[in-house]
Amino acid sequence: MKSILIANRGEIACRVISTARTMGLRTIAVYSEADADALHVRLADEAYSIGGSAATESYLKGDVILDVAKKAGAHSIHPGYGFLSENAGFAEACEQEGIIFIGPKSDSIRAMGLKDAAKVLMEKAGVPVVPGYHGDIQSAEHLAAEAEKVGYPVLIKAVAGGGGKGMRLVEDAKGFDKALASAQREAASAFSDDRVLIERFVTSPRHIEIQVFGDGQGEAVYLFERDCSLQRRHQKVVEEAPAPGMTPEMRAAMGEAAVAAAKAINYRGAGTVEFIVDGSNGLRPDGFFFMEMNTRLQVEHPVTEMITGEDLVEWQIRVARGEGLPKSQGALTLSGHAVEARIYAEDPAKKFFPSTGRLARLQFPEESATVRVDTGVVEGQEVSMFYDPMIAKLIVWGENREDALAGLQDALEATQISGLKHNVGFLAAIAGHKVFGAAEIDTGFIDRHLGDLVPATDAVPTAVLACAAAYESGKRVACGNDLSPWADTDSWILGGQRGERFVLSYGENDLVMSVVGQASNMAITCGDVQVAVQDVRLSPRDISVSIEGASVRMGCVERPTGFALMHLGMTYDFGRPDPLDVDLDQGASGSKAVAPMPGKVIQVVVSAGDRVRKGDALVVVEAMKMEQTVQAPQDGKVAEVTVSIGEQVEGGAVLVKFEEEA
């Protein structure tokens, strides 16, 4: 094996390229139209176009990728995760073409690919499974009856699912039919398979998974556990290793069960056996149940690498080319604690809606032996609507959990992102939360503490207000703004220090700023806030000031209609109101519902003439792998539905118009 084609994109493609290069392998990238200038394309030795921007037109086209592999003379293909990574047909096609698939054999993927069949297999192997219904009868009536037998609350899960797609928590029988229809629709869209299974929802559930590795010749080891309990919408947000509260006895029990699962399918390569753990009475060897096995590398694999010192991608490559496992079980050691936070382009204040846009600023803390950044984008690039909204993964190691969490919070607060909405402040709030620090966690942690974790969108800290005023004053002087008395050079002053007033917008509010003095010593007033600022220093990338003796530095980015300040992981967008910018539609009659962001219409719920109440579902839009239900903004009668199923819409596009009420 002298060359490797990476059949993926983003941070995992960059991650694989990094290890492949250290092993002396020629790297080959593939890219869609949207990714023509992507980081993984720049890093690879060679790169080939494979089609349109949508994944179905590019990264999911196994035949096209295989043609490129043959054309480029690739000896192997690494699928990363997502896309074709767990596609048994693609793995088999690679085998038939004589190209090494860096992953399990196609038979192993098939064995674990369907959750219902996998659970039956695990039961035979002696691995404990969650009680539920895994049968073939898929009628709504039968599934509802099985849910009653299992007992509410239950989880509906896509048989072919993963990543939280096609999964719904149902609290009682009243909500079952709606949740089932939504789960089936999402499963069909994501996996072309709408079959589901029903599972008992475990009280105080913790999501703990075991990293396994097999050689495909009957041997397997486990590289300890990861706790992935902090989730929203059944998708992981923060992962850590080892799991808080894990005992040697339980680690051994879970590890041996995971190895038994791997051996049951003669597993080759990296895999993860995911367990749901009943955390109501602490971690006990009899309180864990098999959920599924992911037959690929996991997004959160870096925390395992940080605590073991092993390169799992290197392990994958070595095993794929026929070598034995690099280490035996007894030779594997665990050191310290590692935490990973997933940085997404999304708006926590708006139910974590995905966000798109150009990364006007992307700055991470400096990497070291204890801080690692995995990303697939660079400053200036676009985050598009076509793929997962992940920007980066920030991973921090510490001697213990307390040190790791403190380091993660520091690293997040040093991260600067502007140009789109992001969740860095949300993640920093998690890292610093007292309850999380005390390891009182389960999969409901984020929902319970959401009020503590999502920053208020209308609140601007005093330090940020002061820097905003100082920044704007400095820019006005630098630009020679004739309206600013600071720009005058006639040395004439009447009645003392020069001052100016200006207005900045923040969200829906206008902020009237008063600045008196100069950069070395100024008094700033905004509403009830009065603050003294000294030693203002402004550069193209940051502003530093002294506020009542305390030094403060913030990132800054100039925008066409304003500027952004970045402080402690948060981004504050200020606008410069234009007095001539008048909304000509203001006062127009009628109302409308618009798309929250670019996406594809997958369901239209209403028709012209329907009467709806505020909050009723109107249209379902799929964007960045997530369903967004657009709701009625008011009671009223539908005048027109302007879109149809399958249509691609831009953010802000009108979806439904309402009649004017007399």
3-state secondary structure 466-479: HHHHHHHHHHHHHC
Q: Is 248 helix (H, G, I), strand (E, B) or coil?
A: helix
Domain range 591-658, CATH architecture? Beta Barrel (2.40)
Q: How many CB atoms lie within 10 A of CB 96?
A: 10
Give the pLDDT of residue 29: 98
Query: CA 367 from chain center: how many Å?
Result: 21
- Portions of the chain given CATH number 3.30.470.20: 208-335, 337-455
- Of 232, 251, 268, 296, the catalytic one is 296
DSSP assignment letter at 33: G
Please report, for residues 516, 547, 568, the alpha-carbon distance to residue 536 in angstroms, rounded to integers and kept in the order given: 13, 10, 19
Q: How many C-beta atoms lie closer than 10 Å to residue 280's C-beta?
A: 13
Pick the CATH number of 462-488+495-575 from 1.25.40.10, 3.30.700.30, 3.20.20.105, 1.10.3720.10: 3.30.700.30
- What is the pLDDT at residue 659? 87
Segment 221-266, tens digit of pLDDT? 999 999 999 998 778 999 999 999 999 999 999 999 999 999 999 9
CATH class of the domain whose range is 337-455: alpha beta
Q: Which residues in 239-251 are b (16+ Cβ under 10 Å) and which e?
A: bbbbbbebeeebb
pLDDT score at 424? 97
User: What angle separates helix 424-431 from helix 401-413, to the nearest 10 degrees?
Assistant: 150
Q: How far apart are CA 558 and CA 507, in angstroms?
A: 17
Is the alpha carbon torsion for 431, 408, 362, 226 positive or negative?
A: negative
Contacts of 376 (CB under 8 A, 6+ apart): 9, 10, 11, 12, 13, 14, 38, 39, 40, 392
**Nearest C-alpha neighbor of 617 from the set 631, 601, 603:** 631
In angstroms, the CA 298 to CA 190 distance is 18
CB 365 within 8 A of CB 371: yes
Could you confirm whether 168 is annotated as catalytic?
A: no
Least Cα distance to 391 among 415, 411, 413, 367 occurs for 415
Strands (E), 578-643: 591-594, 599-604, 611-612, 617-623, 626-631, 636-641
Distance CA 511, CA 504 (A): 5
pTM of the model: 0.82
Strands (E), 24-90: 26-31, 46-49, 76-78
CATH classification (class only), 131-200: alpha beta
Q: Where in the chain is the domain with CATH 3.40.50.20?
A: 3-102
CATH number of 3-102: 3.40.50.20
Alpha carbons 644 and 298: distance in angstroms, whole number: 36
> What amino acid is encoded at 494 in this protein?
L
Vertex 390: Cα angle to 227 and 292 (nearest 5): 40
Ranges for all domains in the chain classified under CATH 3.30.700.30: 462-488+495-575
Consecutive 10-residue averages of pLDDT for the chain (662 residues):
96 97 97 96 97 93 96 97 94 95 94 81 85 90 94 91 82 94 89 89 88 95 96 90 95 95 94 90 84 93 98 98 96 97 93 90 96 96 90 98 98 96 96 96 92 85 94 74 45 59 90 88 91 92 92 94 95 85 41 84 90 89 77 88 88 87 62
Write down the residue that tokens 């085998």 correspond to.
95
Query: 208-335 is classed in which CATH architecture?
Result: 2-Layer Sandwich (3.30)
Residue (of 595, 596, 598) closest to 641 by Cα position: 595
Take residue 38 and report the two structure tokens written for it. 């992507």
